Amino acid sequence: MPQKISHWPALTQWSPEFFKRSYGDLPVWLSRYDPHSERSYLDQHIEYASRKTTMADYVDALSGDHGFFSIRESIGMLQSHPELLEHVDGFRPFGCSSEPPASQYMALWFSPGHDTTGMHIDVAEGLLFHIYGHKRVILLAPDQTGLVYEDDLNKLYARGLEDRIDPEDLEMWRNFVRWSKVNPFEPDFERFPALREATYFDVVINPGDVLYIPLGWWHAVRSLDTTISISKSLFKDEFLRA
C-alpha cells in the first residue's frame, strides 16, 4: 500500500540522528542473525546472540562493522516511550484498537544496511509500517510450503531451553511460528534444489509504504540501507478492515 502513512510526523522526524539526539543514553538490546551462516534462522534464534549498548553507540556503529547485530522487534520501546506514538497519528488510516498501547503488540525495527530477517511465518497477520530507508521483502504463499525446507520444530524441545528462553516466547515459537532453512536472498540451490520451483513476490518498500502480510505467508526481509519500521499484528479488533 504505497504512501498510506506519508502524513505521519514520523516520516519527517525519525532518523538515526533523531534517535541518537533524543534517546542517546537509552540502553538498547541488539540481537544477531547472520544470513551467511550454515546455521539456520531457527538455530540462530535458539542460540540468541545478543548484547546491550546505548542508542548513541548503536547509531554510531551503523556505518561500520555492526557484526549483524541490530534492534530487532523491540516491543518495549514504543510502550515505554508513548511520545513516539504521537508521531504515528494513532496508526491512521487503519484504525487503532481501544486497548492501551501496553496491551498491544507493536515492535520497532531499526536496522543497518544488509540486515536480514530470515524466512518464517508469524503468529498472526500483520502490517509493516515503513518509515525510513528501503527494505526488500520476499513473500511466499502457504501453498509453497513444500518447497521452502521448513525447519524442525523439535529443536525447540531440546533440554535446557526452558532455563534460558522466556517461557512465553518459547511456547509461542513452538505453537505459532514456523521457520524455513533457506535464505531466499542468496539461495543455495545445491542444498535446497526444490526452492527453484517456488513462486514468490519480491517487493521493495519505501518510506510511507505499508506492507500487509497475510496469515500463513512465508516472508523474509532485508534492509537495503539503514531502515526504521514498525510491525503490528492484527489481533482482535486492533485495526479496522477498511
| pLDDT tens for each residue of the chain, 242 residues long | 899 999 999 999 999 999 999 999 999 999 999 999 999 999 998 988 889 999 999 999 997 776 789 999 898 888 889 899 899 988 888 765 555 555 667 899 999 999 999 999 998 888 999 999 999 999 999 999 999 999 999 999 998 898 888 888 899 899 999 999 999 999 999 999 999 999 999 999 999 999 999 999 999 999 999 999 999 877 555 554 44
Closest CA to 87 of 98, 77, 72: 77
Element containing residue 24 per DSSP (H, E): none
Residues 55, 19 contacting (CB under 8 angstroms): yes
pTM assigned to the model: 0.91
Per this entry, what is the length of the chain? 242
- Considering only CA atoms, give the Rg of the chain: 18
Report the distance separating Cα 70 and Cα 74, nearest Å.
Answer: 10
In this structure, the strands spanning 27-32 and 50-54 are antiparallel
**pLDDT given for residue 77 in this prediction:** 87
Sequence-distant (6+) residues with CB within 8 A of 57 are none
Q: Say what the pLDDT of residue 240 is.
A: 47
SS3 label, residue 27: strand
pLDDT of residue 99: 54
Say how far apart CA 171 and CA 156 lie, in whole Å: 9
Q: State the pLDDT at residue 242.
A: 46
Cis ω for the linkage preceding 207 (within 30 of 0) = no
- What pLDDT, on a 0 to 100 scale, did the predictor assign at position 63? 79
Q: What is the DSSP string of 131-186?
A: EES-EEEEEE-GGGGGGS-B--GGGGG-TTHHHHS-HHHHHHHHHT-EEBS--TTS
